[in-house]
Structure 1
Amino acid sequence: MNTTIADTYEIAMGRWSRRLSRSFLDFVAAPSCGSLVDVGCGTGSLTLAAANRYPDARVVGIDLIPDYLTDALREEASNIELKTGDALSLPFEENSFDTAFSQLLINDLEDPEKAVAEMVRVTKPNGKIAASVWDRSGGLTFIRLFLDAAAILGGLEGEKLREEVFDVPYQDEDDLYDLWSDAGLGDIETATLAVRMDFIDFDDYWQSLMGAHSLIRNFFNRQYADTAYEIQQATRLAYLGGKTDGRRSLVASAMAVRGVVPA
């Protein structure tokens, strides 16, 4: 069976985004009815969590990659709608939704400000706008194990990789607060949400790592065999923590922000 882009995402990040969805929805505190839109829904972790939590609501998931929007996801809940579209130009009329949210997207967009403005545009007055992003440099342990090894053993290229992965627009709650404030939103609140990433063994960890970020995967594949082996073994030692191979649970944290569209 061919591995799809959705399959790769599920192995690398989908299982963790499902865990994050529960805490994020608690933070958003969306109304239990009405219309909600999940911007950049990916394989639908947050979309499905919202649809199950709010069975009387209309939940729309939109993503730029059609392969993420599978028939299986559509069949999971009767109140889900899926659309292909760009977060920077949402295909909806003004005031279409009571709540707009986005999980693990804002930091990967070329123009986050435009995406937030679009969420505000399609949300009704007094509606909520919320987003969450991984705390990459301080809160993604499973990536940090590899990047530190790459920076030490991979020379300047390894150091550049670590800098590039961590160099994202919004690196703390204050930055997210300012983004929401600049968009004209009120009643702004921020929070840090923690989840645990559980791995069966190092192979499971490594498979997830290689699918987590294209920069990491491409860097590793470019290395000479000896260097690649050294980096992998250093990462393995960090994962094992002086114990035999097996299950590990690594903490991951995400930063979240929410605000209210002015009346």
Structure 2
Amino acid sequence: MNSTSADIYEIAMGRWSRRLSRSFLDFVAVPSSDSVSAGSLSSGSLACSSLIDVGCGTGSLTLAAATRYPDAKIIGIDLMPDYLTEALRNTAPNAEFETGDAAALPFGDDSFDTAFSQLLLNDLDGPARAVSEMVRVTRPNGRIAATVWDRAGGLTFIRLFLDVAAILVHGAGEELRKKVFDVPYQNEDALFDLWSDAGLHDVDTTTIAVRMDFLDFEDYWQSLMGAHSLIREFFGNLSPELAHEVQQATMRAFLAGQADGRRSLVASALAVRGVVPRTA
């Protein structure tokens, strides 16, 4: 049975993005539609509120929001239709899923009370354009928020492998580590500036920590190989002997001198939120 893009994502990242979603929504503190109209930032019942999850992937954040705000309408949009399975589309009665581009959202101005995005901005060629679109489709006094993995400093499960690769595969391993870590937003200050440059007010940032729990090294390795296409390509192009050496060294780093079994690694994400200014 061939694995779909959604299957690979679920193994590699979906289970962790679900954990991240809960803490991210705490930080977003979605305002109610009434408070948006009145210019207040306090959260309310969210009756008749409309929210959009830009770059929803397999729906972790969309479904978390749909559960937390059962009276709100949630739309998840993603460029990859493979993620938007029929099962996902029928999961929550107040959630809808559409295919679309974050840089050209197919919605009119001021369509939503809140726009948020999880684990998207660092994978876009033009993240500022996506933020601009989120601002455009959100009503004045509405909230815009996003979170990205702290890829270089906060993804331990990837760092284990990349450091091994950089040591054992001279040149190519170091280049792989550089490419994976070379993302636009590597700290809270960079996200703060992105939101401020978009004209958002009351900008705030934070770092969110979640646990990544693995059953054993095999579970870890499956997640790692699905985490990033560059990692899969790099490992697949190694000679059998070097691939074995890299995998064994990564296993020793993962086990840390103990028997194989459950491990829990910390992962951190950077988050930012801001308020759409009132129109003149």
- TM-score by length of structure 1 reads 0.99
CA deviation vs aligned residue, 1:110-130 (integer Å, no higher than 9, x gap): 000000000000000000000
Q: Give the whole-Å Cα distance in 2 for the aligned partners of 1:65 and 1:84.
A: 7
Secondary structure of 2:110's aligned partner: coil
Letter in 1 for 2:152: S
Aligned to 1:225: 240
Give unpaired runs (5+ residues) of structure 2.
Answer: 32-45
Aligned to 1:40: 55
- Among 105, 114, 119, the alignment partner of 2:134 is 119
Q: Give the drift of 1:135.
A: 0.3
Matches within 5 A, 1:45-64: 45-64=60-79
Q: Give the whole-Å Cα distance in 2 for the aligned partners of 1:215 and 1:67.
A: 20
- Among 204, 209, 215, the alignment partner of 1:189 is 204
Q: Give the whole-Å Cα distance in 2 for the aligned partners of 1:52 and 1:2.
A: 31
Matches within 5 A, 1:68-217: 68-217=83-232
Aligned to 2:7: 7
Q: Give the whole-Å Cα distance in 2 for the aligned partners of 1:97 and 1:171.
A: 28
Q: Give the drift of 1:227.
A: 1.1
CA deviation vs aligned residue, 1:176-201 (integer Å, no higher than 9, x gap): 00000000000000000000000000
Q: Give the drift of 1:2.
A: 3.0
Secondary structure of 1:168's aligned partner: coil
What is the number of equivalent residue pairs in this alignment?
A: 263
Q: Give the whole-Å Cα distance in 1 for the aligned partners of 2:84 and 2:200.
A: 30
RMSD: 0.6
Q: Give the whole-Å Cα distance in 2 for the aligned partners of 1:158 and 1:108.
A: 21
Q: Give the drift of 1:76.
A: 1.5
Letter in 1 for 2:272: V
**More displaced 10-residue stretch of structure 1: 28-37 or 181-190:** 28-37
Q: Give the whole-Å Cα distance in 2 for the aligned partners of 1:258 and 1:208.
A: 29
Give unpaired runs (5+ residues) of structure 1.
Answer: none
Letter in 1 for 2:15: R
Letter in 1 for 2:7: D
Letter in 2 for 1:83: E
Q: Give the whole-Å Cα distance in 2 for the aligned partners of 1:78 and 1:181.
A: 35
